Amino acid sequence: MGATGYAVNAERWHWAEHNCERRMPALGVRDQGSSEQAPTRIANFDGIIGQSPALQEVLQLVDMVAATDSTVLLLGETGTGKELIARAIHSCSPRKDRPFVKLNCAAIPTGLLESELFGHEKGAFTGALTQKIGRLELANQGSLFLDEIGDIALDLQPKLLRVLQEREFERLGSTQTRKVDVRIVAATQCDLEEMVVEKQFRLDLYYRLNVFPIKIPPLRERREDIPLLVRYFVQQFARRMHKTIGRISPQTMDMLASYTWPGNVRELQNVVERAAILYENGQLSIKKSWLAGECLQTEPPAQPFRRSPTDERDIIGAALAETHGRVSGPFGAAARLGIPASTLESKIRAMRINKYSFKGA
C-alpha cells in the first residue's frame, strides 16, 4: 500500500449496552507507513457509523429511552438517519422481537393516510372492496415509526392523539373500539413549535409526541465522522460491485470533510457510490463538481449582515432577521453564525428573544 492512501480494513468490535448486546463490524483505519493499530472504536449499529461526541450523545439517549415505552420524537434534517435511530430504539427495547412497522406520512396522499394508519372495513368507502388491517394494528406489541409526522393532516391529528392517550382507535367504517399496545417513534424535519404557532399542528398532540425528543445532528456538525463513513461506504459498494478499492487519497478525504453536505449522510452515500461505479484502479477519486448540493438550493446563498452588531443579542437578532426567524438547516441562523442549532436555541431562550417575530422580516 502506498504512503499517500488510506486503507480500508474490516475488524470486529463487541458492543454491549443493556438490552443491546451483539457483535458489529467496525472499520479500523491503518495509517500508512506505521505499524498496524487497533481498530478505531466507533458506533456501528445497523448502519450508524461514527465516533463524534455529537453522535455518541444521541446513542446514549437511545440507550436510556429504549428500555421504556415512552414516545420518542426524532428531530433532524433529511438524510441524517432518523429511521436508523428509530430502528436502534426498537432493537434495544423489550419489543425487539415484535414488529417494527414504519409509515411515511408525507409519502401517502392525505385521503388515504387514515386508512393506511387505522385500517378500514369492507365497504367503508368507494373502492374498499376488502377489509384492511392498518399499520397501527400491524405494529401491535411492537413499535410504529411515523416518519414526517409534521405532514399529517389537521383533521387526522385528534385520532392519533387518542391513540397516544387512550391506546385505542376504530377502523374506518367500524364502530368497534380496538385496543392497541404500540410504542410510537415519530420523526420530522419540520419545526413543530412554529407549526403550532401557525395553527398547522395541534399543541396537545405536540406535547404527547415530545415526551423524549432526540435531535439528530447534521453531518456538518459531526465532520470527524466523514472519513469513517466514506470508508464504510467504499467497503460496502466495493463488496457489492465485486471490486477491490485499495486507497482513498488524502486530498479527496480533505475535500469531503470540508463540504457542508446539505443532503447529509444520504448525499455522502450517493457520492461515494458514484465514485465506486467509476473506479478502475489506483486511488478512489471524487470530483468537486459532484458536490452540487449548493446548485440545488431553492433560496439565495447567505449574504453578509447588512449591519454591524456590537453585542451577542444584536448578532443573534441580525441573523434571525436575515433568515426570517429560521434557526436550523443550511439556510438557518445557526449555520450563518457557525454554531450548532441547539446552542442557538438555548441562547434564544435565555435572552427571551421571540424568533417568530422575525418571520416576516
**pLDDT tens column, 148-187:** 999 999 999 999 999 999 999 999 888 999 999 999 999 9
Is residue 73 within 8 A of residue 210, CB to CB? The reply is yes
pLDDT at 302: 45
Q: What percent of the chain has pLDDT over 90?
A: 49
Supply the mean pLDDT for the chain: 81
**Residue 107: Cβ within 10 Å count:** 11
Residues contacting residue 35 through CB under 8 Å, at least 6 positions apart: none
What's this model's pTM, rounded to 2 decimal places? 0.73
Name the more confident of 283 and 201. 201
Phi then psi dihedrals of residue 48, to 5 deg: -85, 110
pLDDT band at residue 133 under the 50/70/90 scheme = very high
Supply the pLDDT for residue 110: 79
Amino acid present at 50: G
For the four alpha carbons of 41, 82, 66 and 182, in that order, the dihedral sign comes to: negative
**Would you state the torsion angle of the CA atoms of residues 61, 161, 150, 321, taken in this order, to the nearest 10 degrees?**
-80
Angle at 292 between CA 358 and CA 284, to 5 degrees: 140
Of 287 and 294, the one with more pLDDT? 287
Please tell me the distance from the alpha carbon of residue 140 to that of residue 159, in angstroms, as a whole number. Answer: 17
30 vs 263: which has the higher pLDDT: 263
Answer yes or no: is pLDDT of 290 > 60: yes
Going along 59-167, which residue ranges are E strands?
A: 72-75, 100-104, 119-120, 132-133, 143-147
Cβ atoms 355, 325 nearer than 8 A:
yes
Question: Would the pLDDT of 18 be above 90?
Answer: no
Domains of the chain with bracketed CATH:
7-52+219-295 (1.10.8.60), 56-215 (3.40.50.300), 312-358 (no CATH)
Give the pLDDT mean for 261-288: 90
Place of cell 453536505: 261
Q: Binning pLDDT at 50, 70 and 90, where does residue 303 land?
A: very low
Tens digits of residue pLDDT in 81-100: 999 999 999 999 999 999 99
Q: Is 28 helix (H, G, I), strand (E, B) or coil?
A: strand
76 pLDDT higher than 70: yes
Residues 237-252 pLDDT 10s: 999 999 988 788 888 8
Q: How confident is the model at residue 43, as a pLDDT?
A: 53
pLDDT of residue 23: 32
Res 7 pLDDT > 80? no
Tell me the mean pLDDT in the region 272-299.
76
pLDDT at 297 over 50: no
Q: How far apart are CA 325 and CA 354, in angstroms?
A: 9
Q: What mean pLDDT is predicted for residues 277-289? A: 85
- The percent helix, strand, coil of the chain (3-state, each to 5) is 40, 20, 40
Has residue 334 got a pLDDT over 90? no
305 three-class SS: coil
> Please, what is the end-to-end C-alpha distance for the chain in angstroms?
57
